[in-house]
Copies of this chain bind each other. A is one copy, B any other.
Amino acid sequence: MRTIESLRARCAELADLGSLLMLGRWDQQVMMPAAGGAARALQLATLTKLAHELSTAEEIGAWLQELESAPLDELDADVVRLARRDWERARRVPAELAGERSRAHAEGHESWVRARAEDDFDAFAPALERNVELARTYADCIAEPGQTPYEALLADFDYGLRSEQLSALFARLATELPELAERAAVRSPPPAPKVPIAAQQAAVAGTLTRLGVERESWRVDVSAHPFTSWLGEGDLRITTRYADGDVESLLSSLHEYGHALYERQVDPALSRTPLGGGTSMSIHESQSKLWENHVARSPAFAHVLAEELSKGGFQIEPAALHARLVGVERSLIRVSADPLTYPLHIILRFELELALVGGELAVRDLPAAWNEGMRRLLGIAPPSAALGCMQDVHWASGAFGYFPSYALGCLIAAQLWEALEAELGSREDDLRRAEVEPIKRWLAERVHRHGRRLDTLPLVERATGRGLEVEPFLRYVAPLAGD
């Protein structure tokens, strides 16, 4: 076998194992009987361990060394480039540290579940301290020359981002958004339409069908937390959840659709190579946010959603539905935040995790720092740690450097949407009748097909002709504040 074929064969096996891990997790959250949890955890741990062994094997290094001085076409050169990056990063982590992190994250998660239920930050603090410590040790292992520890962590989710750049982007948002939120707050939010679950289900199914979700290659199920799985070409699975009277399911199903469409439209030639998948968390989030913020929350698409709700037996005026979907109301809780104030929740977390990892903030001082930040950014403060710094699962599970992608996703979505409309013209007429083929084609060409061949920032530049900016997002949210 030629060396490039050996490398590609190993990468294909790793991709297959990744898909099976994803299947195991999908099944766990959607289908598995509750009593199967303990056995499934062991099965997934075994598969993760084997995949890690295969991905860090000595022979990969030898193949890479040979291939790096061989004449390769552009695609194979990119396969080698990403395989090298993944191999190096995986190899830098000693097996003992990997094991210790995975145990600490599991214990942190358990401790968090218990402590949050009792609103007891002190009970959670030791586990969080351990996670912070291990994150620093891990960052020291994987850091590339010139990277700060926080940037090293960030690179697991978004390769190539610098803290300084994030700080600059976020500083701008932290100045502009509170003022807009203040202005929006003087208007009382529109009354919430009480949409029965059956009508929501009909509207979700009907809307997704109009966007091209067909049974041949899609599943749409229900789970406690909405998520997306891509288990191979022709096997896309999204989940949503239904709360009586709420309309979150309309937004969350479009959000997950955006994630799934990204994976579906990656160039099939990249399938089962290190290039075959979404390039970063922030680009992934930009795809979900594009469909959530710029499609589902547009005045035009409210006509489609209202039509589909009406087929489910619930009548509402498109304008009233739209008003509900974009209503601004400052919230203590990130996941129920409106599109205008959402990034402020992320900025708070970014500032705090940067300080935690950098050692400028001690875990014991986190609740006070959280509350101070909430007052500064959102003008409200939580009455408890459960509704404050203990609301998210991320730090409890050791994920530091993940949060920024949520805000970057909002920014990139807005920037892509402006570029798309600049090129294709306003989407208003199309969206009113759920005509989204031109949007899908544009995204496929500019974003999706590249897979991991382009990292976050080069991809944004290539797709929009400009560096990453905050202005498109500010232009998007200004009307939500009533401007």
Contact = CB atoms under 8 A, between A and B. Distances in A.
Interface of A: 12-13, 16-17, 19-20, 23-24, 27, 31-40, 42-43, 46-47, 49-50, 54, 215-219, 231-236, 272
- Top 4 A-B pairs ranked by shortest CB distance? A39-B232, A35-B234, A36-B235, A16-B46
Contact of A217 (B19, B33, B231, B232): B33
A226 B37 CA distance: 25
Nearest to A14: B46
Given A12-B46, A35-B233, A43-B232, 19 more contacts: A16-B47, A17-B43, A17-B50, A20-B43, A23-B23, A23-B24, A31-B31, A31-B219, A32-B231, A32-B235, A33-B215, A33-B217, A33-B234, A35-B216, A35-B234, A36-B217, A37-B234, A42-B232, A50-B50
Given A12-B46, A50-B13, A40 B232 contact: yes
Contact of A47 (B12, B20, B49): B20
B235 A35 contact: yes
A118 to B, nearest CB: 26
Given A16-B47, A20-B20, A31-B31, A39 B216 contact: no
Integer count of this chain's copies in the complex: 2
A27 to B, nearest CB: 6
7 contacts: A20-B20, A33-B234, A34-B234, A35-B217, A35-B233, A36-B217, A38-B232
Nearest to A34: B216
A140 to B, nearest CB: 29
A218 B20 contact: no
Contacts of A13: 46, 49-50
Given A23-B24, A216-B33, A217-B33, A17 B47 contact: yes
B38 A234 contact: yes
Given A16-B46, A47-B16, A50-B50, A233 B39 contact: yes
A472 B231 CA distance: 49
A236 B35 CA distance: 10
A269 to B, nearest CB: 15
Nearest to A35: B234
Contacts of A27: 23, 27
A416 B46 CA distance: 38
Contacts of A215: 33-34
B272 A33 contact: no
Nearest to A216: B35
A54 to B, nearest CB: 8
A205 to B, nearest CB: 15
A444 to B, nearest CB: 18
Contact of A235 (B40, B46, B233): B40
Given A20-B43, A46-B13, A33 B219 contact: yes
A235 B47 contact: no
Contacts of A42: 12, 16, 232, 272
Contacts of A236: 33
A381 B38 CA distance: 52
A19 to B, nearest CB: 5
B31 A43 contact: no
A16 B21 CA distance: 12
A309 to B, nearest CB: 26
Contacts of A218: 33
Contact of A38 (B19, B24, B233): B233
A482 to B, nearest CB: 44
A43 B47 CA distance: 13
Nearest to A36: B235
A43 B19 contact: yes
A38 B233 CA distance: 8
A375 to B, nearest CB: 46
A394 to B, nearest CB: 27
A36 B272 contact: no
A46 B15 CA distance: 10
Nearest to A21: B20
